[in-house]
């Protein structure tokens, strides 16, 4: 490896396009000094929202025992994956990487790097589409007195998200990310304390054992895995903005227990109350009053911040200027690309009425690769030439991690596809109105 690795307490350098290492105070480096605790809020903003409100349904598929094991296990596995990424980063830190895609090319070669980029980009775009779909659904829930169709609701969601697409270009968003997490926590509190009598949700029993349907079980496992994963796609981007990159492990040690509290706390509470009747979109539980207004408004705010984070991670692989570049030409480039991303997400959300199933299938296909296979492969290549019993033990563990990820891909994808095929029997035409979530429709369904 070229260059001299900085000491652990020093900040990492930046890499110019011509390959030269830039000093940290270079005017065009536009480095930020994000504290490790602030980065925890950014990662939680990327991961937490969708998972918190979809996991009760997955818990109803798995039952208490398997649901608990799966939730705790996959959050722990994601934390392990991020620790593997950090260990790998210490072996290439002297080369000044600031983009995860560049690291993939450095370690896997040109072809391998391109494959890794495509996988990550498709995955990130699917998450943005899922966020837009959830925002549209929240808009529909907000307007519970009058039916608003999904094409209109998702168009309003685009209009709300687009002005914030370049928020990261204007400065540190850790404070906004912390407010986003607070908004999510307030949503959960509303779900716990609001009177759900008017929401007309059918309550059923719980079970210790999982569903008898294998596809249902695999879908539930995939849902927990999909929710728990995150932080790998923009790992070096995050690391390059940290005040002290060596503190990254403190970030991981903060995000993992927070996710467990949010995920397992919400999923177990809702499952214990509604059983297998837990709705797929959790905000449907809220009564048709001010609680529903507040809950959906808070959730939309959280999803907008999540979009800002995911959009920045996705576009860094396409734009020629960094997200921290404050020039008008850079902002114009980011704005143009953001319009393209949101436009494509809008078309996808309204062309495929089973967007949740599609995103779940993409997550089942790519999540094990991103969380397990790629980090372990990066680490194996970065360790090349290292000798000793410890190094050999680590290699064995990394190979096991790759093997487990490779095993999960076909299993989880098969479950997601079977569930999608079963749900496709009731699929509507593209750009149709979508489900009715008004107060009158809920009462009629009762």
Q: What is the pLDDT of residues 51-76, one digit of tens each?
A: 788 888 889 889 999 999 999 999 99
Helix (H, G, I), strand (E, B) or coil at 22: strand
On average, the pLDDT of the chain sits at 84
10 Å CB burial of residue 361 (0-12, 13-18, 19+) is buried
Which long-range CB contacts under 8 A does 4-8 form with residues at least 24 apart? 4/94, 5/90, 5/93, 5/94, 6/93, 6/94, 8/90, 8/246
Would you say residue 181 lies in a domain? yes
CA 211 to chain centre: 26
Residues whose CB falls within 8 Å of the CB of residue 420, separated by 6 or more in sequence, listed in order: 354, 357, 358, 360, 361
In contact, 201 and 57? CB cutoff 8 Å: no
Residue 16 lies in a domain: no
pLDDT at 153: 94
Q: Which CATH number fits the domain that encloses residue 439?
A: 1.20.1740.10
Residue 4 belongs to a domain: no
Q: What is the span of the domain harbouring residue 368?
A: 30-445
CA dihedral 250, 254, 260, 265 (to 10 degrees): 170
How far apart, in whole angstroms, are the C-alpha atoms of residue 117 and residue 114? 5
Residues 295 and 187: their CA atoms lie apart, in Å, by 5
- What pLDDT digit, counting tens, does each position of 359-406 carry? 888 888 899 999 999 999 999 999 988 988 999 999 999 999 999 999
Global pTM reads 0.85
Contacts of 335 (CB under 8 A, 6+ apart): 165, 166
Residue 333 placed within a domain:
yes
Average pLDDT over residues 3-20: 40
Confidence of residue 438 (pLDDT cuts 50, 70, 90): confident
Query: pLDDT at residue 199 above 60?
Result: no
Average pLDDT over residues 295-309: 92
| Total domains, the chain | 1
Question: Does residue 342 belong to any structural domain of this protein?
Answer: yes
Query: Is the residue at 6 inside a domain?
Result: no
**Which residues have a Cβ under 8 Å from the Cβ of 418 and sit 6 or more positions away?**
215, 218, 219
Identify the residue whose tokens are 């949700």.
201
Question: What residues contact 189, with CB distance under 8 A and at least 6 apart?
Answer: none
Domain assignment present for 8? no
What's the pLDDT tens digit per position in 329-363?
Answer: 888 888 899 999 999 999 998 988 778 778 888 88
- Report whether 443 contacts 200 (CB < 8 A): yes
User: Is 21 domain-assigned?
Assistant: no
Q: What is the DSSP string of 189-214?
A: HHHHHS--GGG-PPP----SS--S-H
| Integer Cα distance of 198 and 194 in angstroms | 10
Could you give the percent of the chain with pLDDT greater than 90? 37
* For residue 295, pLDDT beyond 80: yes
41 φ, ψ to 5°? -65, -35
Query: H or E stretch including 359?
Result: helix 355-368
């Amino acid at each position: 490896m070229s260059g001299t690795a900085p000491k652990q307490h020093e900040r990492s350098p930046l890499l110019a396009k011509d390959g030269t290492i830039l000093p940290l105070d270079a005017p065009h480096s536009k480095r930020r000094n994000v504290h490790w605790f602030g980065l925890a809020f950014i990662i939680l903003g990327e991961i937490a929202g969708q998972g918190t409100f979809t996991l009760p349904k997955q818990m109803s598929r798995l039952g208490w025992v398997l649901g608990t094991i799966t939730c705790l296990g996959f959050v722990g596995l994601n934390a392990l994956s991020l620790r593997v990424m950090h260990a790998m980063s210490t072996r290439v830190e002297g080369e000044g990487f600031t983009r995860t895609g560049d690291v993939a090319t450095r370690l896997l070669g040109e072809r391998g790097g391109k494959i890794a980029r495509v996988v990550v980009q498709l995955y990130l775009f699917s998450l943005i589409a899922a966020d837009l779909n959830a925002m549209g659904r929240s808009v529909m829930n907000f307007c519970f007195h009058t039916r608003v169709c999904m094409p209109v609701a998702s168009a309003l969601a685009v209009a709300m998200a687009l002005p914030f697409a370049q928020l990261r270009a204007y400065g540190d968003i850790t404070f906004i990310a912390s407010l986003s997490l607070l908004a999510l926590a307030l949503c959960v509190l509303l779900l716990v304390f609001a009177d759900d009598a008017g929401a007309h949700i059918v309550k059923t029993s719980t079970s210790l054992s999982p569903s008898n349907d294998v596809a249902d079980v695999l879908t539930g496992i995939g849902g927990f895995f999909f929710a728990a994963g995150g932080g790998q796609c923009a790992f070096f981007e995050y690391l390059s903005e940290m005040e002290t990159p060596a503190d990254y492990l403190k970030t991981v040690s903060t995000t993992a227990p927070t996710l467990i509290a949010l995920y397992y706390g919400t999923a177990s509470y809702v499952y214990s109350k509604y059983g297998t009747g837990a709705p797929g979109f959790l905000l449907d539980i809220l009564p048709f009053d001010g609680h529903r207004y507040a809950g959906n408004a808070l959730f939309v705010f959280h999803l907008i911040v999540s979009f800002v984070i995911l959009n920045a991670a996705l576009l860094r692989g396409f734009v020629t200027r960094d997200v921290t570049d404050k020039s008008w030409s850079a902002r114009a480039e980011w704005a143009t690309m953001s319009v393209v991303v949101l436009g494509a997400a809008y078309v996808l959300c309204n062309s495929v009425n089973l967007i949740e199933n599609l995103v779940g299938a993409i997550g089942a296909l790519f999540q094990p690769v991103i969380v397990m296979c790629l980090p372990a492969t990066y680490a194996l290549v970065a360790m090349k030439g290292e000798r000793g019993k410890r190094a050999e033990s680590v290699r064995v563990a990394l190979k096991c991690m790759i093997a487990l990820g490779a095993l999960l891909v076909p299993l989880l994808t098969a479950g997601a596809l079977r569930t999608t095929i079963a749900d496709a029997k009731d699929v509507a035409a593209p750009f149709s109105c979508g489900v009715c979530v008004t107060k009158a429709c809920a009462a009629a369904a009762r």
